[in-house]
Structure 1
Amino acid sequence: MRLAVYNVENLFDRAKAMNLDTWAEGRPVLERFAALNGLLGQIGYSAADKKKMTKLIVELGMEKSDTGPFVILRRNRGGLLKRPRTGGVEIVADGRADWVGTLELRDEPINEHAMRNTARVMSDLEADVLGVVEAESRPVLSAFNREILPAVDGMPFRHVMVIDGNDERGIDVGLMCREGFPIGSMRSHVDDHTPDGQTIFSRDCPEFEVTTPAGAQLIVMVNHLKSKGYGGKAASDARRRLQAERVAQIYTGLIDQGIEYVAVVGDFNDTPDSDPLSPLLMGTSLTDIFKHDAFDDGGYAGTYGLCNASNKIDYMLLSPALLAKVERGGVFRKGMWPGLRPKRWDTYSELERPRDAGSDHAALWADLNI
């Protein structure tokens, strides 16, 4: 069987702030969105909180309207703010209970070429079991499977599963399987939390049980750990380490139960030598597929952007018994922007500019004799 993992970076719609030409353009918007969302969610609003909220609302382009260029403030009931005729914004609520509504990132359709190139990658991987990162939802992933894959002469997957996670932007993780590889039991960790009540996973860490035609049972854990994209480095690193520790605990529990075949796949948003990932990469019996003698990295150590070693953030980790069943593996980069000087790898003909890329991430695959 062939196991693969791919960060599709959304399928039909993507937050406008995440769909700009460069990450540097979108990052300030996402940071302000996260900061304002955090303040709005507090039980009580101090004078200092209100001052920060006002500043962020103006910076997000909502001084005159609840609809900014990248963010929408939806106010269903109650009073959060008012906009005096003289200008500016005044927060009138004293806490979260005083109003009902949400702060949301505005979406826009994905570039058509990018959408089709995402589908080409998913098809050309020829995976029997595909872990998917950053899918909007199960209905969206299912629609993409039914409608877009056939449009590029791809064969739709038989099984499509996504468990709704914690990310308000609608970037979840899921699994797609071919006929003969049914998904059995599933276990979500969306509600896992620390003793003080902090939710651990930014999305989820679902366990999917897959049965192969030969009767082997494989547990696939799909992950998308905390990004470095916005928020302070120390806080982001601490959250990612907390997530890695929990994934390691879940994996160890499966092994202790006598389950032999376990794969932990996904976008971990950090490098193999990083401290946050050490509980998972150094503290368990899992092995990165990149270390297998039969794995071909295509000449580049990374999986993101231009695939330098510092951009190795996507993983396929295998338990000892599963690692022993690897026949070969590799990195699929045909849907990624290859750079210009020089062009680093061959791409699809429709990929003529960075916005046409199916994703900024490479896909990983491995053939397993199980």
Structure 2
Amino acid sequence: MSLRLATFNVENLMTRFDFTGFRNQLRQDRVIQLFDVRSEGVYQQLEQARVIAATDDTRQMTALAIADADADILCLQEIDNMAALQAFEYGYLFRMVGNGYRQKYLVEGNDSRGIDVAVLMREETRDGRKIELRDIKSHAMLTYRDLDLFDEALGQNAHIDDKIFKRDCLELDLLIGGVPFTLYVVHFKSMGSPRDGLDGRQATMPVRRAEARAVRRIIENRFGAGQTPTKNFAICGDMNDYQERVDVIGTRRTGYRFEHKNETESALDAFSHDGFAENVMRRRDEMDRWTLYHARGPQEQWLCQLDYIWLSPALASVNAERQPEIIRHGQPFRTVFPPGQEVERYPRTGWDRPKASDHCPVVMTLDLK
């Protein structure tokens, strides 16, 4: 019996317009900055027109990427609300895949922008096994005190009674053809901008490290620390950190070369350092594990994995011969692909936008026992 499991940060699946850019240029879209807009009413009209004009192509590509993943269970990040998820599934995804995802789950989390994690599930797997939800639990209200995870490294502004998860850790207790399977869906703290003499990744790593430790603690509390290796669980989502990257060196004019680099520390070491879970992307070639292209000019560009399917030791062992797939057809043309990895982009893909997302879907076929 097999299950196709996927994760995808769809990048701002929103139902709201953001008009704060009229007073805060840091929130203003770059195309509107080209024009002298002095009236807030005119600004709002232009912003609405811009968003609506750009969204249709974007969401067609998002749906194409999801259709190519062809997952039975799809973990999503950056969803505005259930209304947005339903409108997207009915208006776009259903047109791509036909037999839609009838089971939809979303719980409002802690994100200040209102973006949440969600799960779409078919009623049956592709081989006809029933997918049943036994229980769903949000862990958004957990604090550092609750799990004894407060650390001075979190910074002077952190408090022991602050919520651990900046979005949520959504736990789904499932039966797949009668076989127990537990799914944890997360979207960890973003890296942000440099601060206090540190780059954005280092400055925010203590928060993500606490989130990863919290996920581990939740799983150990659920099954018992000594029992976790024998259980069927997966941790999926955008974890906004990486343990390795591929530096992209050069320009379009001079050409590119690529150098693999291991990081000395990562928030995700909490999962990997003692074999608690396996990052199955490591089964692919080290130059071909990336799910996002980061660039701030020619001097700062790299490919890295931010999107993960971590498997329990039991699941990893049963699926030792399988590898995850990465759907990269929705990447914009500015993304630099290492030699041999180029793909055909979806119709109407732009240099930077429109695109399916800044992230790539990751999907894996799993045997369950």
Fold conserved between structures, TM > 0.5: yes
Relative to structure 1, is the Cα distance of residues 28 and 281 closer, same or farther in structure 2, using a 3 angstrom cutoff?
farther
Which amino acid is 1:248 matched to? R
| TM norm structure 2 | 0.70
Distance 1:369 1:153 in 2: 23
Relative to structure 1, is the Cα distance of residues 263 and 344 closer, same or farther in structure 2, using a 3 angstrom cutoff?
same
CA contact (8 A) 1:133 1:171 kept: yes
Aligned residues: 291
SS in 2 for 1:356: coil
Tell me what 1:164 maps to: 108
Distance 1:309 1:13 in 2: 32
Q: Cα deviation per residue 1:101-126 (whole Å; 9 max; x = unaligned)?
A: xxxxxx94452111110011112211
Q: Cα deviation per residue 1:53-108 (whole Å; 9 max; x = unaligned)?
A: xxxxxxxxxxx9999979xxxxxxxxxxxxxxxxxxxxxxxxxxxxxxxxxxxx94
Distance 2:20 2:281 in 1: 29
Tell me what 2:61 maps to: 117
| Unaligned segments of structure 1, at least 5 residues | 20-25, 31-63, 71-106
Tell me what 2:282 maps to: 291
Relative to structure 1, is the Cα distance of residues 184 and 17 closer, same or farther in structure 2, using a 3 angstrom cutoff?
farther
**Alignment RMSD, CA only?**
3.3
| TM norm structure 1 | 0.70
Tell me what 1:333 maps to: 328
Which amino acid is 2:329 matched to? K
Q: Cα deviation per residue 1:12-66 (whole Å; 9 max; x = unaligned)?
A: 44775999xxxxxx99449xxxxxxxxxxxxxxxxxxxxxxxxxxxxxxxxx999
Matched, 1:344 2:342: yes
Q: Cα deviation per residue 1:244-290 (whole Å; 9 max; x = unaligned)?
A: 11112112223427461110011111112433222233255100011
Overall identity of the aligned pairs, in %: 26
2:233 to 238, 255, 262: 262
Task: Name the larger-Rg structure.
Answer: 1
Q: Cα deviation per residue 1:312-347 (whole Å; 9 max; x = unaligned)?
A: 211110001111232342111111114377793221
Which amino acid is 2:344 matched to? D
Map 1:106-145; keep pairs closer than 5 Å: 108-109=51-52, 111-145=55-89
Which amino acid is 1:254 matched to? R
| Unaligned segments of structure 2, at least 5 residues | 29-37, 45-49, 125-130, 146-159, 244-262, 296-300
Tell me what 1:57 maps to: none
Deviation at 1:128, TM superposition (A): 0.5
CA contact (8 A) 2:20 2:27 kept: no
Deviation at 1:236, TM superposition (A): 1.6
Distance 1:324 1:18 in 2: 50
Which amino acid is 1:162 matched to? L
Tell me what 2:149 maps to: none
SS in 2 for 1:337: coil
Relative to structure 1, is the Cα distance of residues 352 and 154 closer, same or farther in structure 2, using a 3 angstrom cutoff?
farther
CA contact (8 A) 2:293 2:302 kept: no
Which amino acid is 2:172 matched to? F
SS in 2 for 1:354: coil
Tell me what 2:358 maps to: 360
Which amino acid is 2:234 matched to? A
Deviation at 1:155, TM superposition (A): 3.0
Relative to structure 1, is the Cα distance of residues 108 and 29 closer, same or farther in structure 2, using a 3 angstrom cutoff?
same
Map 1:80-229; keep pairs closer than 5 Å: 108-109=51-52, 111-180=55-124, 181-195=131-145, 196-213=160-177, 215-229=178-192
